[in-house]
Amino acid sequence: MCLYANGQLQQVEATDFWREQGCRIAMTDENGELYIQKYPKYKDIPKYKFALGCLHSREWKDRMTGLARQACSFGADGILYDQLGMTRPLLCYGSGHGHPVPANGHESERPSFLREIRRETSRLNDSFALMTEGIHDSILDSISCFHGCETGCFQARLSWEEDFTKGADNWTRAFVHDADSRFKHDPGENTVFPELFRYAFPEISSTVRVPSPLVDRTMVNWTILYGLRHDIELRYADDRRYALDGIVPPPGEGYPRVSSPPDVTRMNNIDRKEAYAYLRAANAFQKRHSKFLCEGMFADVDGMELVAPPCVMAKRYRSAAGESCVIA
C-alpha cells in the first residue's frame, strides 16, 4: 500500500498551514503573482485552486518529510509525491525561501529535495518506496518507482481489448491522455505504444495508470507482458466502500459527482473477489520470475519469432546473467 501526497501543490486559503506558512513559501513569478493550478475534482463545486510550494523552502521540505514519516508510522509500503517528475523549470521570485531571487525551484533543488526525504525514509525503513508521477532523469537516484503518467503506461480501456481480440497490429494500439483526464483510443498520428517506452528505458520501474479500485484480468496480463507494476487507486469514499465491501454506488449517487470517475459498469460486471485474487496470483508470478520480469531487460521481439493466432502477444526478456525468457 502506497499513500498519496502532492509534492508541490497546496490549496489556497484552505488550511492552517497555508495561512501560517504556505502563503509565504509559495512560488511567485516576476510580477509577484502565485503560480496557480486549478483542478475540477467534483462537478457540483468550483475548481480547487492550488499554489506551488517552493522546493527551496525549509518549511516545505519539513512538511513533505513529515508526511513521509507519517506514512512510515502508518505501516505503508511507500509514499507517492504527485507531479514532481513532471513539472517544468519555473523561476521563483519569492523572498525568504532560502534562495537567491530569482531561482529555479525545479532544477538542482528538485533532486536534492527528494534525496533529503529519501535519507529520512531509509533511516526509518530501508525498504520504504518513494514514488512520483511522471519521469525525470534528475531524480532517478531517489525514486523507487514512477507512477505511470508517461506515454506507454496509460490504462488500457475497452477499445484496446476489442482491438486485441481482433488481432490489431501492435503499433496501432495506443492510448493518449485527453484534456479531461480520461483515457481514449486514438489510432491516428498521435498514437504511442508501450514497446517504445519499455525498449528505450528498460531499467525504469513504473506502474501502469489505472484510476480505479478494480483492475481486470486483461489489464493485469498486459501489465506483466510489458514488465510494468500493477496499480489500483483508492481516491474517493466510494472506492473505499467498493474495496472493502464490494458496494458500487447506485445510479445518481456517489461517482456522478466526480469529474473523472472509474468505470462503474466494469465494477458491476466483474466479480471483485475473483479480480483481486487474480491480481494477487499474477503479482506472485511476477515476483517468482523477477530476474526477468522485474529486474530483466525488455527486449520486445528481438531474437524471436511468434507463430500464433493474432490475439496472442509475446515479449522477450533478458536477465542480468544473460538468460532469456519469453512471456506470452
User: Which residue from 131, 138, 146 is spatially nearest to 71, judged by alpha carbons?
Assistant: 131
User: Which residue from 171, 270, 177, 181 is spatially nearest to 218, judged by alpha carbons?
Assistant: 270
DSSP SS3 for 317? strand
User: Which residue from 164, 181, 150 is spatially nearest to 217, judged by alpha carbons?
Assistant: 164
Q: Where are the alpha helices (DSSP H) in the chain?
A: 16-17, 23-25, 58-73, 109-124, 158-166, 194-200, 217-225, 237-245, 264-269, 272-288, 290-293
Tell me the C-alpha distance between 129 and 146, whole Å: 10
Per DSSP, the residues of 48-63 read: EEEEEBPTT-HHHHHH
Written in H, E and C, the secondary structure of 125-138 is CCCCEEEEECCCHH
Tell me the C-alpha distance between 205 and 194, whole Å: 13
Residue 225 sits at φ, ψ, to 5 deg, of: -55, -40
| Residue segments in the chain with a per-residue pLDDT below the cut of 50 | 156-162, 164-165, 167-191
**Burial environment of residue 198 by CB neighbours within 10 A (0 to 12, 13 to 18, 19 or more):** buried
| 318 contacts 311 by C-beta, under 8 angstroms | no
> Residue 150, CB half-sphere, CA atoms under 13 Å: how many?
23
Tell me the C-alpha distance between 160 and 263, whole Å: 15
| 289 contacts 325 by C-beta, under 8 angstroms | yes
pLDDT digits (tens, 9 = 90+) for 142-173: 999 998 776 667 654 444 444 544 544 443 33
DSSP SS3 for 199? helix
Structural domains of the chain sorted by starting position, each given as residue range(s) with its CATH number in brackets: 2-147 (3.20.20.80), 158-327 (no CATH)
pLDDT digits (tens, 9 = 90+) for 8-49: 999 999 999 999 999 999 999 999 999 999 988 888 888 899
One-letter amino acid of 31: N
* First-residue to last-residue Cα distance in the chain: 28
- What CA dihedral angle connects 214, 299, 186 and 206, to 10 degrees? 40
pLDDT of residue 154: 64
pLDDT of residue 155: 54
pLDDT of residue 105: 80
One-letter amino acid of 5: A
Tell me the C-alpha distance between 288 and 295, whole Å: 12
One-letter amino acid of 105: G
User: Which residue from 35, 152, 32 is spatially nearest to 87, judged by alpha carbons?
Assistant: 35
pLDDT, mean over the chain: 85
What b-and-e string marks burial along 210-239, b requiring 16 or more CB atoms within 10 Å of the CB? bbbbbbbeebbbbbbbbbbbbbbbebbebb
| 117 contacts 130 by C-beta, under 8 angstroms | yes
| 193 contacts 154 by C-beta, under 8 angstroms | no
- Hey, what's the cell of 57? 523552502
